[in-house]
Amino acid sequence: MYDSGKIIVGLLIFIALVTFPFYNNIGKVNAKPELKLDTPEIQKLPEQERKCVESKEFMRGGHMQLLDDWRDSVVRDGSRIYTSSAHKTFNMSLQNECMRCHSNKKDFCDKCHNYMAVKPYCWDCHIAPKENKS
């Protein structure tokens, strides 16, 4: 190989970049977020009623979309009642509805969001429920 010194340095940099995610994770705990659903409001619900606004599968991916729809509906149309696909009604509110049940923001919303490195800017204005620092 001609200019092998330079080429080998280049290839080493390439290998270091490609394998970065692998060696970066050596010896690190790889824990998925454990969500807590043990808030007083959820505990109050009867066992088989412990459901979110929509199905769990929908909420996982679509909760931000739902919140966005709620926001538009409240702020633009002034309508605050949401009827879910299970024909239950909810008060369309981030602070007063979602956080009523999920009053443990730190052990619920933040668990996922920190894991995924998302930081919803909603809390710049909306008030997060008071929690003891755990």
Partner 1 sequence: MKILFPFFAVIALILLAFAGIKTANMQFLFGVVIPYAALGIFTLGVIYRVVKWGTSPVPFRIPTTCGQQKSLPWIKQNKIENPSGSLGVIIRMALEVLVFRSLFRNLKTELKEGKVVYGWEKWLWMAGLAFHWSFLIILVRHFRFFMQDVPSVIKIIESLDSFLQVGVPLLYLTDIILLLAVTYLFIRRVYLPQIKYISLAADYFPLFLILGIAVTGVLMRYFFKVHIVGVKVLAMGLVSFTPSIPEGIGALFYVHLFLICVLFAYFPFSKLMHLAGVFMSPTRNLANNSREVRHINPWNYPVHVHTYEEYENDFRDKMKAAGLPVEKE
* List of residues contacting ligand HEC (CB under 6 A): 35, 37, 41-42, 50-53, 56, 59-60, 63-64, 66-67, 70-71, 74-75, 92-98, 100-102, 108-109, 112-113, 116, 118, 120-122, 124-126
Gap between the Cα atoms of 84 and 51, Å rounded = 11
Nearest to 42 by CA among 53, 31, 33: 53
Q: In angstroms, what is the C-alpha Rg of the chain?
A: 22
Which of 36, 46, 52, 67 is the binder for partner 1 (CB under 8 A)?
67
Residue 81 DSSP label: E
Residue 72 in contact with partner 1, rule: CB under 8 A: no
Residue 106 site contact among partner 1, ligand HEC, none (CB < 5 to 8 Å, cut-off depends on kind): none
